[in-house]
Amino acid sequence: MTLDHNAQAGGPGRRNGFATRAIHVAGPEMLTADPLSPPIYQSSTFAFTQADDYSQALADPGYAYAYTRYRNPTTAVLESALSELEGGTDCIATASGMAAVSTILMTLLSSGDRIVLARELYGGTYSFARSMADRYGVDVAFVDSTDIDAVERALTDRTRVLYIETIANPTITVTDLPVLAALARSRGVTVVVDNTLASPYLCRPIEHGADVVLHSVTKYIGGHSDVIGGALVFADHDLYLRAWKTMILAGGSPDPFAAWLALRGLRTLALRMKRVSSSADALARWLEAHPRVDKVYWPGLDSHPSKALAERLLPLGYGGLLSFDMAGDRDAGRLFTEKTRLARLATSLGGIETLVSHPASTTHRQMDQEALAAAGIGVGMVRVSVGLEDPEDLIADFDQALAVTGAA
Ligand SMILES: *Cc1c(COP(=O)(O)O)cnc(C)c1O
């Protein structure tokens, strides 16, 4: 196989000029078997020999590759992998998690429609939904997704979408996917589940009745804090085609190299999710016993309200995100995030390095005081994304940071 042809414009013996030769270069002959790592097709467009194939490829993503905003072979490897792991029919990789959020909401909602969302929600999703209410006449309702009756009451005749997160952040609350999905589906409401915090290793929402699974690939799937990406996985091919049409016009397609990095991260997802789950377990139990800590939020703890649900929905582990409230001063939490030495103060989660943050001033800053309180997010809460370091080192780091913070 060659990656390009060595086209000669004239007959035998005629040599192309310098500029032409700089452009029309033959790729390497592939004498050996397939490369183990998928090639990065860093090409914006793809050439055809038949004009009919070209026009067909623009209309049907499964027919052929035409233009990278529509589909790209490297990106398609990531899409196949995520479809396979989530148990879906199709996947659209996107340039970010928010591109996935905006693509699916623009696909499913028109003005006058209603969407019901969990009130404890990723801040960007919350803001995007609010802007759909303010600017596009969508009726947006936020409900406590742990209150099944409240969700049921919110699902009116005009409701098109129920939007929930498998694990909500920063209270690390697990959502009852099977019950909510059955409820929504019985009313013809499309169920979109943001599965970013669980990853397909810990939970596959389509198995529990979701229509669409959404990921910020930036987090656990990429896993190395080096790429921004997103994905939508579909339980149904027709909805995939509708969303694909939105995506190519809204323009949220990923760069092939970003897709390649995400795929490289995905290879070790299982190992990383096991490790962060066991390290979070050790850290959560240690924090719970610490005199300066009031409360720890991790669904593997008996004290967490989601424990029973987590045992059913997350049989392989409870994930690497935990939060805690420090005793006393509400500013203590914020100060703590400046005093850790290994754990870095940064937004995002799901990477190899442990991160600490203060949700009220960072990830959830778009929520006002009232929305924060309603979602159970304390203003002094510290959120931890446990990384792959040795857990004893993390405990030592937290120990010294708690000591300094308490003394301040
Ligand atoms: C980060 C995140 C997003 C947004 O993803 P980006 O890749 O930052 O655009 C959406 N949902 C959740 C749960 C997230 O953590």
Ligand 1 atom having least distance to the Cα of 229:
7
Ligand 1, pocket-test mutation among 219, 225, 261, 348, most atoms within 8 A of CB: 219
Pocket probe mutation, ligand 1, options 101, 103, 218, 226, max atoms within 8 Å of Cβ? 218
Q: Give the chain's radius of gyration (CA, Å).
A: 24
| CA-closest residue to ligand 1 atom 7 | 97
What is the C-alpha separation between 389 and 393, in angstroms, rounded? 7
- Give the Cα separation of 16 and 24 in Å (integer): 9
Return the ligand 1 atom nearest residue 348 CA: 1
Q: Is 398 in the pocket of ligand 1 (CB under 6 A)?
A: no
Atom of ligand 1 nearest to the CA of 230: 7
123 CA distance to ligand 1 centroid (A)? 9
What are residue 212's phi and psi, to 5 degrees? -135, 135
For 274, list phi and psi in degrees, rounded to 5.
-65, -45
pTM assigned to the model:
0.94
Residue pair 167/220 in contact by the 8 Å Cβ criterion: no
Q: Is there an atom of ligand 1 within 6 Å of 216 CB?
A: yes
Closest CA to 9 of 344, 160, 19: 19
How far apart are the C-alpha atoms of 243 and 231, rounded to whole Å?
A: 11
Which candidate in 119, 219, 275, 383 is catalytic?
A: 219
Q: For the chain of 408 residues, list the mean pLDDT of each consecutive stretch of 10.
A: 60 82 74 83 96 95 96 96 97 98 98 96 94 96 97 98 96 97 98 98 98 98 98 98 98 97 96 97 97 95 98 97 83 90 95 92 77 79 96 96 79
Judge whether 126 counts as a catalytic residue: no
77 and 263 Cβ atoms separated by less than 8 Å: yes
Amino acid symbol at 113: D
Does the active-site annotation cover 122? yes
Q: Distance between CA atoms of 360 and 12, rounded to whole angstroms? A: 71
Q: From the CB of 306, is ligand 1 less than 6 Å away? A: no
Contact present, 309 and 177 (Cβ < 8 Å) = no
Cross-strand partners of 215: 231
- Cα 88 to averaged position of ligand 1 atoms, centre (Å): 20
Whether 296 lines ligand 1, by a CB cut-off of 6 Å, is no
| Mutation test residue for ligand 1: of 96, 98, 145, 347, the one with most atoms within 8 Å of CB | 98
E-state strands within 189-320: 190-194, 212-216, 230-234, 293-297
Position 392: which residue type?
Answer: E
Q: Is the CB of 160 under 6 A from ligand 1?
A: no
Q: From the candidates 67, 69, 113, 245, give the one annotated as an active-site residue.
A: 69
Q: Rounded to 5 degrees, what angle do the CA atoms 167, 277, 124 make? A: 35
To the query of whether residue 69 is one of the catalytic residues in this protein, the response is: yes
Taking CA atoms only, the protein residue closest to ligand 1 atom 4 is 97
- Selecting among 122, 163, 240, 318, the annotated active-site residue is 122
Instruction: Say what the pLDDT of residue 34 is.
Output: 80
Active site annotation includes 34: no
Ligand 1 center to 227 CA (angstroms):
12
Distance from residue 216's CA to the centre of ligand 1 (Å)? 4
Question: What separation in Å is there between the alpha carbon of 379 and the centre of ligand 1?
Answer: 21
Angle subtended by helix axes 123-136 and 97-108, to nearest 10: 30
Annotated catalytic residue within 65, 119, 163, 194: 194
